[in-house]
Chains A and B, each alone.
Chain A
Amino acid sequence: MHNTSDTVPLISVEAIHKSFPGVKALVNARFDLRPGEVHALMGENGAGKSTLMKIMTGIYQPDAGEIHISGQKVNLSDPRAAQALGISIIHQELFLMNHLTAAQNIYIGREPRKGFGMFVDEAKMRADTAALFARMKVDLDPDVEVGTLTVARQQLVEIAKALSFNSRILIMDEPTSAINDKEVEHLFAIINDLKAHGVGIIYITHKMDEVKRIADRVTVMRDGQYIDTLPAATTDMSRIISLMVGRELADATRATGQGGDVVLDVKNLNRGRAIRNLSFSLRKGEILGFAGLMGAGRTEVARAIFGADPIDSGEISIHGVTQAIRSPQDAVRLGLAYLSEDRKHYGLVTSMTVGDNVTMSSWPRFTRSRVFMNDARMREAANDYVQKLRIKTPSVDQETRLLSGGNQQKIVISKWLLRDCDILIFDEPTRGIDIGAKAEIYKLLQSLADQGKAIIVISSELPEVLRLSHRILVMCEGRITGELTGRDATQESIMTLATQR
């Protein structure tokens, strides 16, 4: 084992600043990794972890700050430079070519050659791959087509690829998010083996139990800033959670007011691994928050209820009547609306006008004898909503893509209000919306609830869920792990439930 205290760090970054238009993604961030250690990096969604990793792998350039590798100041101008310096990343979503073999994937772009460089030296490539697998003590055939492997084994191929670059710095982004417990054990064995060989591993995760088991140190980030670095073994997990959450809730005026009739009742909903036996109900005038980490299955629940994805089993009742919702068309007819987090892909037809988009779900209403569009009436109706929701646009004839995120979100909301939907499911309602517009969207949601709409808010931003929701359901890995109301609902209690395996 290495004596970690007096070795030079494999990599250290200091005073890193990085801004994007309208957002300070990193402010004075720092991080260091010693040889032979697993250093966990934790923080809420949006804390700046990915931005920092992108800087360490040469994808982004920092606005300010220094990067040292083994004590030498370096400039990671692009991903190739980072790779040459021994930095590799294993992404949460794997980047492999499914139809190529393991060996072909590992040596893609730098295949060993023979015959005056005209042919690929398949034998050498295979032998080198076999050697990598042997070093990792995994039983994999270099000739296996990657697409036929399980996610866990594909991940091993990615690790082998990283090792083939002689990487000494390995970044793993939520490596256990898609693999089962047994596979996790295998992965940890490999990680321990890599540690023994002096490889340093940056381990990004949301799972507390894993940090406890595998990490040597933990660094917590929040709002783009470095918060603290602690030894994993001796630090209480609740302390890490409170560091991640940090800020106190400034706005304590939490909306209350429930007691309406149940308008949506979901019983024993199942869809593959994404949704497992999920039940809940939603009342008139209520804002129900869905909290949880990315990939907890919240979006899947929304899409399943809305008929966008088929369900395996489950019962959905609307206004007390059991309904079979087979398509979004059915859902809309029953007064359901889904506002996707990805407005550009799922919410708007951005090349069409504001007026077209506001009225899209209701086009048949704006026709003469259901054939000819009545553009005058359509514009009038759209104008009405532009004023009511204060959508900033030169006119309803403006192409939607030219508007800001907040105004685009208001257009999607208008679309559903115009369609008379009374059950509104908001998926990340303020993603990509700047701070000022956020408050306006919050106010809008509250007034909609006051008017008797039933609202579900899915959000990864804890302050947002806490501020908006009358009641909060926390999900983890497709299940509801708890329900919180009133004083019980805190960022800490949500994070505890959200990381419960």
Chain B
Amino acid sequence: MTDLTLDQAGKTKSALVSTSTLQKGVAFVVLIALLIFFSVFTENFAAWNNVVNIMQATAVNGVLGVAVTFVIISGGIDLAVGTMMTLTAVMAGIILTNLGMPLPLGILGAMASGAVMGAISGTAVAKLKIPPFIATLGMMQIARGLALVFSGTRPIYFNDTPNYGLISPESSLALLIPGLEIPNGVMIMFIVAIIASIILNRTLFGRYIFALGSNEEAARLSGVNVDFWKILTYALSGLICGIAGLIISSRLNSAQPALGLGYELDAIAAVVIGGTSLSGGRGTILGTIIGAFIMSVLTNGLRIMGVQEEWKIVVTGVIIIVAVFVDIMLRRRA
């Protein structure tokens, strides 16, 4: 019962925002606890260098997490985010390196190709009535295969595009505020998250995403064009994957066509840890970003503590199960 009152006190404008406030709160507490734990028990964890490392490591997973958050709130799932990211990076490589076109076209190409792939997944789900799990499982393989085919299975380097490093590893912020060397990739993640939050909570599109995930049939019977909004949701997810593709290829100064598999599961893990319900209708972008940070803080902290790398994977698995369990318990009591 105390949970209920807490929930209502936290209610500001819309119940949509507040329903997952609690678990987002839990995720946030876990993150702070981890930060404190590692700062106290390791020497180098809190060093600025390491903080930058953690942020750098969060950027890609965070952006992919945001992409898949939209789809999950709408009641679907997108397993293709990892390989779509790879394909968009390859597209950028082809446009910039193979065709020698200017940087803005490469950026546009990556995002547009992601959006198109997403729209195709969305169409398969909305129009062909293929379950999202299957449709995006197919798209995951299609994107993975295409990335290998288009690149000729070899990495594409961005040596001819000297400014490409501006996207992720370099820090424009440090030019403005010397010393605050937050990499641009991390800044992009935060900007994507802020825009995504606005889309989700302030726009018509966002409201439809929640309605779809909460009760698609009621939305349909209210005269909502559910097919259109669903396709748009997957397209948006694909477009954001394009941004992730740019960040990762910029950091590696190359499009690695064999990369990408497994990233979708990390992204979904971040979403779930962040309190977004896999059954749709509930969730926040902030939660997803916190979830992504929890994962990279764990990896980083355990590595500094000298724990074998593989244990981090085990711990992440435990965290996912515990996070969802806490979510279920909180909802049952509310």
Q: Which of B204, B219, B224, B281 neighbours the largest number of chain A CB atoms within 10 Å of its CB?
A: B204
- Do A328 and B222 contact each other (CB < 8 Å), given the known contacts A397-B11, A399-B15? yes
Chain B interface, >50% SS class: helix
Residues of B within 8 A of A (CB): 11, 13-16, 19, 202-208, 210-211, 214-215, 217-225, 281-282
Q: How far is the CA of A227 from the CA of B331 in the complex (A)?
A: 46
Which of A308, A347, A372 is close to B204, meaning CB atoms less than 8 Å apart? Answer: A372
Which of A346, A352, A371 is close to B210, meaning CB atoms less than 8 Å apart? Answer: A352
Q: Contact: B211 with A352, CB < 8 Å?
A: yes
- Do A332 and B223 contact each other (CB < 8 Å), given the known contacts A345-B217, A351-B281? yes
For the complex with contacts A329-B223, A351-B214, A353-B14, 14 further pairs of A-B residues with Cβ separation under 8 Å are A306-B221, A332-B222, A332-B223, A350-B214, A350-B215, A351-B281, A353-B15, A353-B16, A367-B204, A371-B205, A372-B203, A373-B203, A375-B13, A397-B13
Residues of B within 8 A of A398 (CB): 15
Chain A interface, >50% SS class: mixed
Q: In chain A, what residue has the closest Cβ to B14?
A: A353
Residues of B within 8 A of A345 (CB): 215, 217-218
Q: Contact: A328 with B223, CB < 8 Å?
A: yes
Q: In chain A, what residue has the closest Cβ to B228?
A: A329
Q: How far is the CA of A276 from the CA of B306 in the complex (A)?
A: 75
Q: How far is the CA of A353 from the CA of B214 in the complex (A)?
A: 12
Q: In chain B, what residue has the closest Cβ to A370?
A: B204
Give, as a whole number of angstroms, the nearest-CB distance from A491 to chain B.
31
Residues of A within 8 A of B220 (CB): 308, 327-329
Give, as a whole number of angstroms, the nearest-CB distance from A337 to chain B.
9
Q: In chain A, what residue has the closest Cβ to B223?
A: A332
A-B CB contact pairs (8 Å), 16 listed: A308-B221, A328-B220, A345-B215, A345-B217, A347-B218, A349-B210, A349-B214, A349-B219, A350-B214, A352-B16, A352-B210, A360-B211, A361-B224, A363-B207, A370-B204, A373-B204
Residues of B within 8 A of A114 (CB): none
Q: Contact: B223 with A361, CB < 8 Å?
A: yes
| Chain A count of residues within 8 A CB distance of the other chain | 35
Residues of B within 8 A of A346 (CB): 217-218, 221
Residues of A within 8 A of B281 (CB): 349, 351
Q: How far is the CA of A373 from the CA of B207 in the complex (A)?
A: 8
Q: How far is the CA of A353 from the CA of B8 in the complex (A)?
A: 13
Residues of A within 8 A of B19 (CB): 351
Q: How far is the CA of A360 from the CA of B210 in the complex (A)?
A: 12
Give, as a whole number of angstroms, the nearest-CB distance from A367 to chain B.
5
Residues of A within 8 A of B (CB): 306, 308, 327-329, 331-333, 338, 340, 345-353, 356, 360-361, 363-364, 367, 370-373, 375, 397-399, 415, 419
Residues of B within 8 A of A397 (CB): 11, 13-15
Q: Contact: B15 with A360, CB < 8 Å?
A: no
Q: Contact: B11 with A347, CB < 8 Å?
A: no
Residues of B within 8 A of A327 (CB): 220
Q: Which of A327, A329, A375 neighbours the largest number of chain B CB atoms within 10 Å of its CB?
A: A329
Residues of A within 8 A of B221 (CB): 306, 308, 328, 338, 340, 346-347
Give, as a whole number of angstroms, the nearest-CB distance from B142 to chain A.
29
Q: Contact: B214 with A372, CB < 8 Å?
A: no
Residues of B within 8 A of A308 (CB): 220-221
Q: Contact: A360 with B14, CB < 8 Å?
A: no
Q: Contact: B215 with A329, CB < 8 Å?
A: no
Residues of B within 8 A of A375 (CB): 13-14
Residues of B within 8 A of A363 (CB): 204, 207-208, 224
Q: How far is the CA of A373 from the CA of B208 in the complex (A)?
A: 11
Q: How far is the CA of A349 from the CA of B281 in the complex (A)?
A: 10
User: What 4 A-B pairs are tightest by C-beta distance, nearest first?
Assistant: A332-B223, A349-B215, A349-B214, A361-B222
Residues of B within 8 A of A333 (CB): 223
Give, as a whole number of angstroms, the nearest-CB distance from A34 to chain B.
47
Q: How far is the CA of A340 from the CA of B218 in the complex (A)?
A: 9
Residues of A within 8 A of B225 (CB): 329
Q: How far is the CA of A371 from the CA of B202 in the complex (A)?
A: 9
Q: How far is the CA of A345 from the CA of B208 in the complex (A)?
A: 17
Q: How far is the CA of A328 from the CA of B16 in the complex (A)?
A: 25
Give, as a whole number of angstroms, the nearest-CB distance from B327 to chain A.
15
Q: How far is the CA of A338 from the CA of B218 in the complex (A)?
A: 11
Q: How far is the CA of A375 from the CA of B16 in the complex (A)?
A: 13
Q: How far is the CA of A363 from the CA of B211 in the complex (A)?
A: 11
Q: How far is the CA of A370 from the CA of B203 in the complex (A)?
A: 8
Q: Contact: A360 with B219, CB < 8 Å?
A: yes
